[in-house]
Amino acid sequence: MHDAVFDPDFDYEGFARRAAEAMAPEKVTAFANRVGIPQGTVSKYLKAGGLAGPRLDIVAKMADGLGCSLDWLVSGRGDGPAESSGFVKVPRYDATLAAGGGSWNEGRRRLDDMPFTSAFLRKRLNRTSANGLAILEARGDSMEPGIRDGALLLVDEGDQRVFDGIFAFVLAGDARVKRFRRLASGIQLISDNPAYPPETIEGEDMAGLQIIGRVLWVGQLL
């Protein structure tokens, strides 16, 4: 499908500038993979190149992924990615992560947004934006006491490097959250609850591992 001919008065450069500002510091490749848009398309839009304007469906995906309103991205009006109130919005999805077992909803639906202060992101997470962050819910008791059943997890979908830490991931069709310990030949999955023994993924099984992102923060009732 080709981009449709657009209004010659459309501020393509302003659109590209706002998109780039909202996307930083996330890399184009990571953003494109996260929102499901070809990298080449995102790169073209950021360069404000070509004779045709951006497609509405793609711009809507970009706005959703950037945490801004469609109006702001296109025209500079409306809600940008970070408001003057000092709060940024992180999307919460209906996908459930099983701490022990479960299923990953590939057609995850955006439920709402959770506000975080810009100061919290900067001081506690060393981040300047909420790009690539998502809120997901944990189910099960295998990560107790640190992560209880029903806890909300702040996941960085842009951080999929394999190293020691707590990660949300999909394995053999199950969406889970575990503590990773990197091994020479693979990864050890560790539950904080001692009732659950460690698991080891190595060899061909590594191909079935899809990392959703690293868990940065846990929110739960006492």
Segment 87-140, tens digit of pLDDT: 788 888 876 655 555 444 455 677 888 888 888 888 888 876 777 888 998 889
Q: Which pair of tokens denotes residue 198? A: 């460690």
Residues 173 and 215 in one domain: yes
Please report the pLDDT score of residue 23 as a whole number: 85
Low-confidence ranges of the chain (pLDDT < 70): 1-9, 49-52, 79, 81-85, 95-108, 128, 222
Q: Is 206 inside any structural domain?
A: yes
> What is the Cα–Cα distance from 163 to 20, expressed in whole angstroms?
29
Q: Is 5 inside any structural domain?
A: no
Task: Answer whether 91's CB lies under 8 Å from 135's CB.
Answer: yes
Residues 109 and 201 in one domain: yes
Look up the domain containing 146 and give its range: 87-219
> What is the Cα–Cα distance from 70 to 63, expressed in whole angstroms?
5
Residues 34 and 129 in one domain: no
End-to-end CA gap in the chain = 52
User: In 2-86, which ranges are E strands?
Assistant: none
Please report the pLDDT score of residue 103 as a whole number: 41
AA identity, residue 186: G
For the chain, the domain total comes to: 2
Percent of the chain whose pLDDT exceeds 70: 84
Q: Is 81 inside any structural domain?
A: no
Residues 91 and 181 in one domain: yes
Residues 68 and 155 in one domain: no
* Bridge-based pairing state of the strands 165-171 and 87-98: unpaired
Q: Is 19 inside any structural domain?
A: yes
Please report the pLDDT score of residue 51 as a whole number: 54
Q: In terms of residues, how long is the chain?
A: 222
Which among 89, 97, 74 is positioned nearest to 16, based on CA atoms? 74
DSSP 8-state symbol, 1: -
> What is the Cα–Cα distance from 157 to 201, expressed in whole angstroms?
21
